[in-house]
Amino acid sequence: MEETLVQEPEARATLKYARISSRKVKIVADLMRGKSVEEALKIVKFAPKASSEILEKLLNSAIANAENNHFMNRANLYVAEIYANQGPTLKRIRPAAKGSAVRIRKRTSHITIVLKESK
């Protein structure tokens, strides 16, 4: 008795090396998780955060992938998963008092959005 798992179709979009900290992205990402695509677009449009513009472009890309590559209906799409992982940190140095130096960490993140179709 072998069980075959039928995988639901999903559309995903990934942005790597985004020049924003993953902590800042997660604030808006948590608001979008589980919402319909239209509602998520409204959240991103009106959230006064630095990551909103990046997430809006990425969400539109995921919607286009769902419609064109997986033939999903836009009206039934919802944000199944959204996560932001830490990418490599760019290390820079700035002069400080008494001839010393202070390290500046410019953080990057990898952001992924997964859309699925509701039944």
For the chain, what are the domain ranges? 10-117
- The closest alpha carbon to 26, from 117, 113, 118, belongs to 113
| 6 confidence band (pLDDT: 50, 70, 90) | confident
Instruction: Express each pLDDT in 94-118 by its tens digit.
Output: 999 999 999 999 999 999 999 999 8
Tokens read off for 101? 């130096």
86 has a pLDDT exceeding 70: yes
Threshold 0.85, pTM exceeds? yes
Tokens read off for 49? 């955060």
Which numeric CATH code is attached to 10-117? 3.90.470.10
pLDDT at 29: 96
pLDDT at 16: 97
15 has a pLDDT exceeding 80: yes
DSSP state at residue 76: G
